[in-house]
Amino acid sequence: MEKNRPSWSSRVTFILAAVGSAVGLGNIWRFPYIMGQNGGAVFLAVYLLLILTICFIPLFAELVVGKFTKKECIGAYEAINPKFKFLGAMNPITGVLISSFYFIVGGWILNYIYLSFTSSKITDYGAYFGSFTQSALIPCILTLVFLFLCIFFTARGVKKGIEFANNVLMPLFAVILVVLIAFSLSLPNAKLGLEYMFKPDFSKLNAHMFLAALGQALFTLSIGMGALLTYGSYIKEDKNITKSTYTIIFSDTLFALLAGVMLFPAIFSFGLEPSSGAGLVFVTLPYIFSQIPFGGIVSGAFFILLLAAAITSGISIIEVPVATMTERFKISRINACTILFFIISAISIPATLSFGPFSEFKIIGKNIFDFLDFITSNFLMPLNAFFLCVIAGWFLKIKGGTFIRNRVFAALFDFGLKFVVPITLLLVLYIGLK
Ligand code: PHE
């Protein structure tokens, strides 16, 4: 084992960092818009079903593989069997691809923080979002600023960089969400939004929805790109990974549901389109803020806290390739961060321009941004999660009984890890991509 590997200062710190990784743009930005594109309540039902029955298994397995091997992704897979190192390498690669679109949205948040504090005369937020994202220069600069912020914290290392953001800012964020929910529910027609979210029409069920829900569930829980494996590898003493797993899942789902209950009533009340895509949050929220007393301050506070949540997730995404570069290739942390800054920028900039100058450039019918999002969430993450379960279940031979006291649950876990989850992941991938 490496002597200089980082480690968490306490069990609580680890849980907070893992929750900080999970709760981010996936909950507030991606969840509502993917749900809006996939028919609302039916999607939510499928999503919750997948989280409760399937997702906790790969989440748990990632933590265990990390904790037992105490290595970054390639080394961890290699320690189980040298043949698997290439599968391990898919994790940091997926991480780089995710950061290349995730950080663009981080840049959008920076813009909305600025807007909150300037007295802008915007009346049509939909049109504003369109023209802003098309405008090329500012979004590119802001993407790089956000990338720099995440890299900066990552370069400072595991303890100093990550702990403050998680300990203080996340609880504050939950409070502000609750205040906004109260306002949103008081709007005329708020009931329509709640119905859209909670009254499923099962006739709308389809295979693509399962893939979209699986992609969203993995994305929001940070499963399938080694983030939790890497964080798990920094655990020293924690024996109770089961409890950590539940905490991560519970908090992440709570934040996603809060985001939905905050947005959908407002979307219906303002007559916006739930299926309008990636701009949904950035159009709806400014409308809400423009209606409430002290809207500018509330808006500023909200976007700053969202920025903090996005940074803690962004750090965990970057930490995966950084850990691989420092441990495996013996590059110093600061150099690894610098190299990554350039690699991620090289992919992010064309992706940022895919809303403007490069909008005609399409891969499988999608612009670069949507393509990166789709290929990572709906293909690479499920695939990585599949390999992880197979490796953990059949080669590392994790036995549920080691961690789960109840014998029935332990046996169910073993069966799930070896058979049910890998088969389901492959099946959803196959049917959804067909
Ligand atoms: N789960 C994070 C979010 O919801 C994104 C993320 C994906 C983080 C993959 C780490 C790994 O915003």
Percentage above 90 pLDDT, the chain: 74
Which protein residue has the closest C-alpha to ligand 1 atom 9? 222
11-432 is a CATH 1.20.1440 domain: no
Minimum CA distance residue for ligand 1 atom 6: 222
Is 25 near ligand 1, meaning CB less than 6 Å away?
yes
Please give the backbone phi and psi of residue 363, each rounded to the nearest 5 degrees, phi first. -120, 130
Which pLDDT value is given to residue 109?
A: 97
Mutation probe of ligand 1 site: the residue of 222, 306, 381 with most atoms within 8 A of C-beta: 222
Q: In degrees rounded to 5, what are phi and psi of residue 407?
A: -65, -35
> Which of 30, 317, 320, 378 maximizes ligand 1 atoms within 8 Å of its Cβ, making it the mutation to test the pocket?
317
98 lines ligand 1 (CB under 6 A): yes
Assess whether the C-beta atom of 26 lies below 6 angstroms from ligand 1: yes
301 and 174 Cβ atoms separated by less than 8 Å: no
Question: Measuring CA to CA, which residue among 79, 103, 124, 23 is closest to residue 343?
Answer: 103
| Cα of 222 from ligand 1 centre, angstroms | 4
Q: Provide the angle, in degrees to the nearest 10, between the axes of the packed helices 56-69 and 73-80.
A: 80
Instruction: Write the pLDDT tens digit of every residue in 212-238.
Output: 999 999 999 999 999 999 999 998 866
CB of 21 within 6 A of ligand 1: the answer is: yes
Give just the sign of the alpha carbon dihedral 164, 305, 369, 30. Answer: positive
374 HSE (CA, 13 A, CB side): 15
Dump pLDDT digits (tens) for 117-161: 986 778 899 999 999 999 999 999 999 999 999 999 888 876 665
Structure tokens at 62: 């990632």
- For 41-87, what is each residue's pLDDT tens digit? 999 999 999 999 999 999 999 999 999 899 999 999 999 999 999 99
What lies within 8 Å, CB to CB, of 285 at 6+ separation is 112, 263, 299, 302
Mean pLDDT score, 398-414: 80
Cβ–ligand 1 contact at 27 (below 6 Å):
yes
**Smallest CA separation from ligand 1 atom 10, residue:** 222
pTM listed for this prediction: 0.94
User: How far does the centroid of ligand 1 lie from the alpha carbon of residue 187, in Å?
Assistant: 31
pLDDT at 3: 60
pLDDT in tens, 319-335: 999 999 999 999 999 99
pLDDT given at position 239: 65
Res. 344 pLDDT band, cuts 50 70 90: very high
For residue 353, give Cα distances in angstroms to 34, 63, 143, 249.
22, 36, 11, 34
> CA triplet 223, 101, 372: central angle to 5 degrees?
75
CA separation for the pair 213, 217 (Å, rounded): 6
Question: What pLDDT is attached to residue 13?
Answer: 82
Mean pLDDT across 299-322: 93
Which residue's alpha carbon is at the smallest distance from atom 4 of ligand 1? 26
- The three state secondary structure string of the chain is CCCCCCCCCCHHHHHHHHHHHHCCHHHHHHHHHHHHHCCCHHHHHHHHHHHHHHHHHHHHHHHHHHHHHCCCHHHHHHHHCHHHHHHHHHHHHHHHHHHHHHHHHHHHHHHHHHHHHCCCCCCCHHHHHHHHHHCCHHHHHHHHHHHHHHHHHHHHCHHHHHHHHHHHHHHHHHHHHHHHHHHHHCCCCHHHHHHHHHCCCHHHCCHHHHHHHHHHHHHHCCCCCCHHHHHHHCCCCCCCHHHHHHHHHHHHHHHHHHHHHHHHHHHHHCCCCCCCCCCHHHHHHHHHHHHCCCHHHHHHHHHHHHHHHHHHHHHHHHHHHHHHHHHHCCCCHHHHHHHHHHHHHHHHHHHHHCCCCCCCCCECCECHHHHHHHHHHHHHHHHHHHHHHHHHHHHCCCCHHHHCCCHHHHHHHHHHHHHHHHHHHHHHHHHHHC
Of ligand 1's listed atoms, the one at least distance from the Cα of 27 is: 4
Question: Of the segments 225-239, 242-256, 290-304, which one has the largest average pLDDT value?
Answer: 242-256
Mean pLDDT within 332-343: 96
Please give the Cα distance from 322 to 227 (Å, whole number): 11
Indicate if ligand 1 lies below 6 Å from the C-beta of 225: yes
Q: Are 163 and 17 in contact (CB under 8 A)?
A: yes
User: Please, which residues bridge with residue 363 across strands?
Assistant: 366
Domain ranges in the chain are 11-432
Q: How far is the CA of 40 from the centre of ligand 1 (A)?
A: 22
- Above 80 in pLDDT, residue 285? yes
Residue 148 CB partners (closer than 8 Å, separation 6+)? 341
Cβ contact 269:136 at 8 Å: no
Using a 10 angstrom Cβ sphere, with 0-12 exposed, 13-18 middle and 19 or more buried, the burial of residue 290 is: middle
The pLDDT, as a whole number, for residue 161 is 59
Task: Give the nearest ligand 1 atom to 309 CA.
Answer: 12
Task: Report the atom number in ligand 1 closest to the C-alpha of 25.
Answer: 12
Q: Residue 1: is its pLDDT beyond 60? A: no
Asked whether 24 lines ligand 1 (CB < 6 A), one says yes
Mutate to test the pocket of ligand 1, among 19, 21, 150, 166 (most ligand atoms within 8 A of CB): 21
- What number does the ligand 1 atom closest to the CA of 252 have? 4
Nearest CA to ligand 1 atom 11: 222
